[in-house]
Amino acid sequence: MAATPAVADDSREEQPVLRLVQAQFMAMVPLRFFRWKLPIEQVQPPTPSQARTLLHHVSLPNCWGVRTSVTVHHPLIMRYPTSLSHRQAFLKHIIQQCEDAGQEVCDELYEVYTSLLVSTLEPTSPCCYKTYTLAGLCLAEWAVEHSALFEQKTVLELGSGMGLTGLVISSCCSPAHYIYSDCHPNVLANLWENLVLNCKLREEGGGSKMSVMCLDWASVTQEELQSLAPDVIIASDVVFDNELVEYFVLLLLKALRPPPGGRNGPVAYVASTIRNQDTYDFYVRKLEEAGICSEDLSLGSTAVFFYDRQQTMKIHKLCISNKIR
């Protein structure tokens, strides 16, 4: 694909809006939740220049040392496409906005949209952008605001999934060692591939040590957990099933116990999306029965990711009761 010239300097004032749209597109935010303007700006449909820029290149800050394209022709999207239906809906909305406002739509936008309409195949690449759990995003934002809690610490994440929360903490909070864990072979394989890919794209030299381990909540022993010597334990969106809650609380009871020698035990930070109040109440009750102290923490105040903030979410600080040894 031939390179497209960057947008002229007079478009620089459009860049904050374009970056906002780009971030939401890459996060696969449903169009009904899209923000098409900055809070201080008047609502306007994109001009032909903006529509073309949304498709191709714009001069952005050199945050990763490269010039990027914005949405459907971004190098990452070309290599790891979002879903076909998502790209179709996105371009359809851009075109509809222009047409409703009586503005000219650039031919290239029509051509790309038409090519997507006639395509019947989803992306052939095994990788694509995915959505993540709300609590994982919430915990990542909170961790960035409280980075001192993780700095030069050994962090153990329970149920890492695809590793988004860990990647954020490893990048922004300078832990000495970040341990990702899960128990399903396919999840662990995808997690490892995702970590390798993201670290390669960031071209980081040095930084936090990272490792991935298989950790079965039902069978892991207290000695195995203590051998990891975590200072901080984190988890997100693990409170949605009563049976899983029981395994999780028993795991916390093992992991949070102070190790031999009088050293303090680790502290845990657990983020939860409250979808079922009865299940959440069951979780709180099990924590109390196990003698695990729980403290409600304020959610992060800085919005970094795009997700439904109307959902009820909580972050708890957990530690072992002094009477439990």
* Domain match, 141 and 246 both: yes
Which tokens sit at 32? Answer: 């009904």
Q: Is 145 domain-assigned? A: yes
* Domain match, 104 and 166 both: no
Range of the domain at 27: 16-40+62-118
Q: Is 283 domain-assigned? A: yes
* Domain match, 155 and 293 both: yes
Intra-chain end-to-end CA distance of the chain, in Å: 64
Q: Is 310 domain-assigned? A: yes
Residue with tokens 């980075």: 147
Q: Is 3 domain-assigned? A: no
* Domain match, 241 and 170 both: yes
Q: Is 8 domain-assigned? A: no
Sheet of 267-273, strand order: 209-214, 177-182, 154-158, 232-236, 267-273, 313-320, 292-297
Which tokens sit at 267? Answer: 């502290």
* Domain match, 270 and 147 both: yes
* Domain match, 226 and 284 both: yes
* Domain match, 76 and 174 both: no
* Domain match, 193 and 244 both: yes
Beta-strand relationship, 313-320 and 292-297: antiparallel
The structural domain count of the chain equals 2
Residues 211 and 177 sit within 8 Å (Cβ to Cβ): yes
The set of residues, in sequence order, having a beta carbon less than 8 Å from that of 4 and lying 6+ positions away, is 56, 57, 69
Q: Is 46 domain-assigned? A: no
CA dist., res. 149 & res. 33, Å (int): 33
CA dist., res. 322 & res. 232, Å (int): 18
CA dist., res. 131 & res. 213, Å (int): 23
Please list the pLDDT of the chain residue by residue as tens digits (325 residues): 333 333 334 344 457 777 788 888 888 888 888 877 655 334 455 555 555 555 543 322 222 222 235 788 788 787 778 888 888 888 888 888 778 877 777 777 778 888 888 876 655 555 555 656 789 999 999 999 999 999 999 999 999 998 999 999 998 999 999 999 999 999 999 899 888 887 765 555 456 789 999 999 999 999 999 999 999 999 999 988 899 999 999 999 999 998 777 678 899 999 999 989 999 999 999 999 999 999 999 988 888 887 778 889 999 999 986 554 4
* Domain match, 140 and 237 both: yes
Q: Is 55 domain-assigned? A: no
**pTM of the full predicted structure?**
0.75
CA dist., res. 36 & res. 82, Å (int): 19
* Domain match, 198 and 314 both: yes
* Domain match, 297 and 235 both: yes
Residues 157 and 180 sit within 8 Å (Cβ to Cβ): yes
| CATH value at residue 158 | 3.40.50.150
